Amino acid sequence: MKSARKIIIEPVIDDSFSISRINHHLNDHETFNRLTYHRIFFVETGAGYLSIDNNIFELHDNSIFLLPKGPIYAFSDQTSVMGFSPELP
């Protein structure tokens, strides 16, 4: 597990719900994010890994990640995802 160089605390969402299309290579793999609200990641297609509080999960096509408030998460090097989530920081 890599060490956290910086942790971004997500801002509070004004609306109770938001969703955005993810369709890109996630290259900011050294940034860790602390969740201030519940988050759903729906991965239509993807490759790479998602670290949540020192637990590592492999990304697979057609998978869903349900995250509660509080954990710190980060995507691994060379992660690529197409799917849906609230806007990523």
pLDDT of residue 27 exceeding 60: no
Give a three-class secondary structure readout of 10-32: CCCCCCCCCCEEEEEEECCCCEE
Which pLDDT does position 52 carry in this prediction? 92
pLDDT of residue 44 exceeding 60: yes
Indicate whether 87 belongs to any domain: no
pLDDT of residue 70 exceeding 70: yes
Q: Which two tokens stand for residue 47?
A: 């490759």
pLDDT of residue 10 exceeding 90: no
The residue segments making up the domain with residue 66 are 6-11+21-82
Output the pTM of the full model: 0.71
Indicate whether 72 belongs to any domain: yes
